[in-house]
Amino acid sequence: MIRACVQFHSMADNQPIELYFKNPVDILIASEISEVTAVLDQVEQYSQEYYVVGYTAYEAAAAFSSKMKVKSVDTYAKFYIFKEPAAPFDDCELMRPMEFQFNASKQHIVAQINHIKEQISKGNTYQVNYTVRLQSASSNAPYAVYKLLTHDQNGQYTAYIEDDDEAVISISPELFFEYDKTTGHIYTKPMKGTMPRSNSADNYNQLQYSKKDQAENVMIVDLLRNDLSRIALKNSVNVSSLFEITAYATVYQMTSTIEATLPAHISMNQLFEALYPCGSITGAPKISTMAIIDQLEDKPRGIYCGAVGIMLPDGRTIFNVPIRTLVKQGQNFVYGVGGGITVDSVPEKEYDEMVAKTQILNALKQDDFHLIETMRIDESGIKRWDYHVKRLVQSLNHFNMNYEKEQLDNIAGLTTEGTKMLRLTASDGKIFYELNEIPVIKNATAVLRPMLETDGDKLRYKTSRRDHYKVDNDRLSLYYNQKMLITEFNIGNLVYKLHDSLFTPFVHDMLAGCMRQQLIDEGMIGERNLSLSELIDNKHKIKLWMVNSLREWTEVRLESDSETINGNSVQKSVE
């Protein structure tokens, strides 16, 4: 499947562009550096009648100047030619939580930054945009990742490209250039200067008046002004905005805007020769700094720090700088992050800034607070699905969390070979799932314990706040409340047999399980309170089961323990 989605903001009319594409009529690929300029020529021809979406790798820079030192890559440029836009994609894929790891240690990164400062002190560069990678192995559908990231972030230049070999997920907030060949007007909007977002205005103000970040920003502004002046009409280059602060979901960013007017019939190759790669992701001076980058960074950047964009048949061309960008190849997602290193840089702070820029990836993790549903699944589907989805939706509504019904509808059709555990976790706008083997209960004995938690939400809803349940790998816990009534097990509800009838306690500040509710609805069990004293006095007459939707029925034996009740030892009472 080949498809693309572009959600860009047009500087010219201050309007969004949101377009979806499927089934290209042609694909243009530069597998050698010598093929890049020819591909751009073909792309430009196609753009007179077709929509063109694609990218150039950072390493494509060598096509425009042999002085630019870069590594080799498999693909230097790839563009897809579409006849017309398609309907928005209706995918609603399931997601597993993702964890990303840096490919370099903090110690290594700090050492590299110190090396860059040495290069600056020697006069070899003024600023270096140094980058590293994070990666995560995951089978998640890339478009599901894109949807989740665009839901959480407000990047104005987001793009999604998917083919059989790779997927590009660009949540970039940075414009490389927007050019309208009918008017000759061009905008660039470099982004330099970052501060973690906070609830107060402190970090916003600190970034706005930071001399270090202003110096870093203006250095790149001057670089881009110089790049544009190589092809712009005389006296048309203008800095229309300087040191503008924009708030994003996880960081504040400093941007500036440079505008110019280009002569008629400027070609794409001329544009790229003058501007590429964007100075904000190289540093200054560009050529000598790229040589330092080539020495320091052990892997090619690829699409990251290149350009991803669209060419429209109405004459407009918009490319982003693909920062905040994931590339999926096989089962591996790779994310690049970097920062501008100057003479004033403090290595540890630069590392912290890099970490702040990775906070976008937190959207792909499970939130600290989330809802949980644990189910039994096999070849026939999910057991008690209707009960679980009803409880989950009630919980989502109770905690004012949003969700997409289509996600739940997709989950409903899951099946597995053999019986497995299906675990759903849900928070605002996110539903993740995991499939695992059902954990074995090694010892189906239970210890009586008091439930000390009194927060009704913790007790009545199945959430990640489960510290009130004692974890004991050797045995189960059977709880009683402050009224000395038996409530539930730590991982299931109680069903007990008394006088040839099956009962479960009424819901008193405990989780009403789906298996329990099904048994009540089917008339298999009734509701009846069981006091602690009644259980202890009749422990040889009462038969106990733990029931939950995952394991269904588990017969349990009550074991003695040293907990005290009203000053008396439960152990003595049970014995």
Q: Which domains does the chain have, with CATH numbers?
A: 3-364 (3.60.120.10), 371-436 (3.30.470.10), 445-574 (3.20.10.10)
- Tell me whether strands 332-341 and 127-137 are parallel, antiparallel or unpaired: antiparallel
> What's the token pair of residue 272?
């790229």
- Expressed in angstroms, the distance from the first to the final Cα of the chain is 67
Q: Give alpha helix (H) positions in 73-193.
A: 106-121, 142-152
Q: What gap in Å lies between CA 115 and CA 575, rounded to an integer?
A: 71
Residue 334 has phi, psi (to 5 degrees) of -120, 135
Contact yes or no for 195/245 (Cβ under 8 A): no
Instruction: Record the tokens describing residue 504, joined without a space.
Output: 């479960």
Cβ-based burial of 311 (10 A; exposed 0-12, middle 13-18, buried ≥19): buried
427, 366 in Cβ contact below 8 A?
Answer: yes
Task: Provide the pLDDT for residue 466.
Answer: 84
Give the pairing type, strands 332-341 and 325-329.
antiparallel
CB 462 within 8 A of CB 372: yes
User: Which residues make Cβ contacts (< 8 Å) with residue 537, sequence separation at least 6?
Assistant: none
Is 294 in contact with 96 (CB distance < 8 Å)? Answer: no
Catalytic, out of 59, 174, 216, 273: 174
Q: Calculate helix-pair angle for 36-46, 268-275, nearest 10 degrees.
A: 130
H helix or E strand, kind and range, residue 325: strand 325-329
9 - beta bridge partners? Answer: 16
Tell me which residue of 428, 429, 431, 394 sits closest to 409, measured CA to CA.
431
Rounded Cα gap, residues 392 and 410, in angstroms: 15
Ramachandran angles phi, psi of 297, nearest 5°: -90, 125
CA-CA distance, 371 to 403, in Å (whole number)? 12
174 is catalytic: yes
Q: Cα(486)–Cα(478) distance, rounded to whole angstroms?
A: 8
Is residue 307 within 8 A of residue 176, CB to CB? The reply is yes
Q: SS in 3 state form for 437-466?
A: CCCCCCCCEEEEEECCCCCHHHHHCCECCC
Q: What is the residue type of 196?
A: P
- Give me the phi and psi of 268, to 5 degrees please: -60, -40
Q: Count CA atoms closer than 13 A to 11's CA, side-chain side.
A: 25
For 335, the 3-state DSSP assignment is strand
d(C-alpha 516, C-alpha 494), whole Å: 8
Task: Give the single-character DSSP code of 393.
Answer: H
Beta partners for residue 378, in sequence order: 381
Tokens found for residue 515: 């298996």
Task: Encode 206-248 in three state secondary structure.
Answer: HHHCCHHHHHHHHHHHHHHHHHHHCCCCCCCCEEEEEEEEEEC
Q: Where are the alpha helices (DSSP H) in 142-210?
A: 142-152, 202-208
Distance CA 40, CA 227 (A): 19
Helices (H) and strands (E) in the chain, counts: 14, 33
Q: Are strands 445-450 and 552-559 parallel, antiparallel or unpaired?
A: parallel
* CB-CB contact of 184 with 263 (8 Å): yes
For residue 575, what pLDDT is reported?
32
Helix, strand, coil shares of the chain, percent, nearest 5, are 25, 35, 40
Torsional sign, CA 113, 118, 121, 127? negative
Name the nearest CA neighbour of 380 among 423, 408, 410, 413.
413
Can you tell me which residue has the tokens 């789906």? 514
Per-10-residue mean pLDDT of the chain, 575 residues long, equals 93 90 98 98 98 99 97 98 94 82 96 97 95 95 91 82 97 95 95 78 83 88 94 95 84 91 94 96 95 97 98 97 95 95 94 92 85 96 96 93 86 93 90 91 91 87 86 84 94 95 93 96 97 92 96 91 47 36
Amino acid at 469: Y
Active site annotation includes 379: no
**Beta-bridge partners for 425:** 372, 432
Which of the residues 69, 78, 117, 192 is marked catalytic?
Answer: 192
Tokens 């029925």, residue located? 553
Angle at which helix 347-357 crosses helix 106-121, to 10 degrees, equals: 120
Measured distance CA(130)–CA(342) in Å, rounded = 11
Cβ pair 159, 4 in contact under 8 A: yes
pLDDT of residue 295: 96
* Amino acid at position 78, single letter: K
Q: Could you give the CA distance from residue 311 to residue 89 in angstroms, rounded to a whole number? A: 20
